[in-house]
Amino acid sequence: MNIKICGLRTKSAVDEAVKNGATHLGFILSKSHRQVTPEAVSTLTENLPKSVKKVGVFVNESIEFVKNAVAIAGLDLVQLHGDEDMDYIRQMSVPVIKAVSDFAKIAQYENIMLLLDSPKGGSGQTFDWTSVRADSLSLPFFVAGGLTPDNVAAAVQHFQDFPHFYGVDVSSGVETDGVKDLTKICTFIQNASLAHYDDLLTAFLTLTQRLNAHGIIPYLMGSVAVQLVAGFSTNPDDIDIQLRQSDFAQFDRLSVLMEDLGYHLIDWHEHKFEKGNIHVGFANVETLKNYANVDFTALSKSELGEFYLPNLQQNIKIYEAATRDNWRNDKYKDKVILEKLKELENDR
Ligand SMILES: O=C(O)c1ccccc1N[C@@H]1O[C@H](COP(=O)(O)O)[C@@H](O)[C@H]1O
């Protein structure tokens, strides 16, 4: 789940957002009471994990102004909140998020990300979510505008089935008296991530029933399994399923079964499927011994259904292996999960 915390101005707020699993940090570089300089962004984001993206927010600035800020602040993306059109957007040196509030005008944009917002960015005003039709959106999109720790779960649930829903974005809703509130940042991220976790777990349980009907018992791995076993928020992105080699080898049969459930194959090499905002990856559980020195036959069955999952100690071994694995993209997240798992084990 992508979670963007925007309008950051202090190191403590940046640290709180990162610590809790924000995937994007937003900095206002145009005129606003939240405005910061590109130099300040550079200082505030020193030592930021690579997986956390820095977004600069601009309103109708000159191309030179934006490019200069991108270079000084080291921005990964720019968010454009004014009347910038495709001619302007094509001149940007980094990927673009375009804020839109008139949803009838979405069709003019291509190869970018959208941010659905109320007409006045950063005002904390919501828009009518039901005014957006899923079939009008063919680009990945963030939802913003008046989100708060209290309504973000409802927003995630509302947009979850939109095929291109990418994440949620907040500024005013995590402030108290105009200043970023660390408790609200933490609660916002946890509530957004919990709503997505609930959806992923429900999708996994549906999938499990279908696999079981074909004589297959899946192994639930990754951050959904950790959250189920350990109970802390892991902000899962996808569902990691492992299968016995005999089941995994019949990938064509698996593909048919997934398509029946509305998923489509998005990466044949990685055995990844997608349905809306839900991604499911398959792998062979019998490789666990070599990868993490975990005997897959020692994994326990869940009480929630006919599937296996690793316990606390087995998850620790798996995440230790993941943090050593050069192929893993999000090592920072793996490291945070590993630290929390170890803390939990020490407390027992
Ligand atoms: O936050 C600002 O001051 C701002 C100024 C100019 C353009 C956009 C701005 N904020 C962005 O608007 C969205 C929604 O914010 P909110 O949660 O409704 O307050 C978010 O991306 C802000 O960073």
Say if residue 325's pLDDT is above 90.
no
Provide the b/e sequence for 240-262 (b: ≥16 CB within 10 Å). Answer: bbbbeeebbeeeeebbebbeeee
Residue to substitute in 9, 28, 77 for testing ligand 1 pocket (most ligand atoms within 8 angstroms of CB): 28
The boundaries of the domain holding residue 40 are 2-180
Q: What is the mean pLDDT of the chain?
A: 95
pLDDT value, residue 161 = 85
Ligand 1 pocket residue status of 101, Cβ below 6 Å: no
* Centre of ligand 1 from the C-alpha of residue 172, in Å: 7
Choosing from 128, 152, 180, the residue where a domain stops is: 180
* Assigned domain for 187 exists: no
- Give the ipTM: 0.97
Q: Does the beta carbon of 9 lie inside 6 Å of ligand 1?
A: no
User: The domain spanning residue 268 has which CATH number?
Assistant: 3.30.460.40
Structure tokens at 234: 């892991």
**CB burial readout 110-135, b (16+ within 10 A) else e:** eebbbbbbbeebbeeebbeeeebeee
With bands split at pLDDT 50, 70 and 90, how would you rate the model's confidence at 277? confident
Q: Is 28 in the pocket of ligand 1 (CB under 6 A)?
A: yes
Q: Is residue 38 part of a domain?
A: yes
Identity at 104, one-letter amino acid code = A
User: In this structure, is residue 192 part of a structural domain?
Assistant: no
For range 128-144, the mean pLDDT: 92
Task: Using pLDDT thresholds of 50, 70 and 90, give the confidence band for residue 220.
Answer: very high
User: Tell me, what's the pLDDT at 225?
Assistant: 98
At residue 120 the predicted structure's pLDDT band, cuts being 50, 70 and 90, is confident
Burial class (CB in 10 A: 0-12, 13-18, 19+), 94: middle
DSSP state for residue 35 in the 8-state scheme? B
Q: What is the pLDDT of residue 329?
A: 65
Look at residue 189 and tell me if it is in a domain: no
Ligand 1 lined by 168 (C-beta under 6 Å): no
Quote the pLDDT of residue 328. Answer: 67
The pTM of this model reads 0.91
- Spatial contact of 308 and 241, defined as CB atoms under 8 Å apart: no
Pairwise pLDDT comparison (49 vs 348), residue with the higher score: 49
List helix spans (H) across 217-330.
Answer: 222-230, 245-248, 251-260, 288-292, 312-324
Q: Where does a domain end: 180, 214, 246?
A: 180
**pLDDT at residue number 276:** 83
> Is the confidence at residue 330, as pLDDT, over 80?
no
Residue 121 confidence (pLDDT): 87
Ligand 1 pocket member 173 (CB < 6 A):
yes
Query: Over the stretch 176-211, which tens digit does the pLDDT of each residue have?
Result: 999 999 999 999 999 999 999 999 999 999 999 999
Examine the pLDDT at 327 and tell me if it is beyond 80.
Answer: no
At 6, is the pLDDT very low, low, confident or very high (cuts 50, 70, 90)? very high
Rounded to an integer, what distance in angstroms lies between the CA atom of residue 72 and that of residue 41?
Answer: 8
Q: What is the C-alpha to C-alpha distance for residues 232 and 186, in angstroms, rounded to an integer?
A: 13
* In a shared domain, residues 202 and 325: yes
Better pLDDT: 221 or 47:
221
Q: Are residues 184 and 17 in contact, defined by beta-carbon separation less than 8 angstroms?
A: no
Q: Do 338 and 306 share a structural domain? A: yes
pLDDT at 326 (0 to 100): 73
Residue to probe by mutation, ligand 1, list 4, 171, 180, 185, most atoms within 8 Å of CB: 171
Q: How many structural domains comprise the chain?
A: 2
Candidate of 24, 81, 150 to mutate for ligand 1, largest count of ligand atoms within 8 Å of Cβ: 81
Q: Closest ligand 1 atom, CA of 6? A: 23
Q: What is the pLDDT, as a whole number, of residue 314? A: 98
pLDDT value for 104: 86
pLDDT at 246 over 80: yes
Same structural domain, 240 and 336: yes
- Residue 164: inside a domain: yes
170 Cα–ligand 1 center, Å: 7
Q: Is 321 a member of any domain?
A: yes
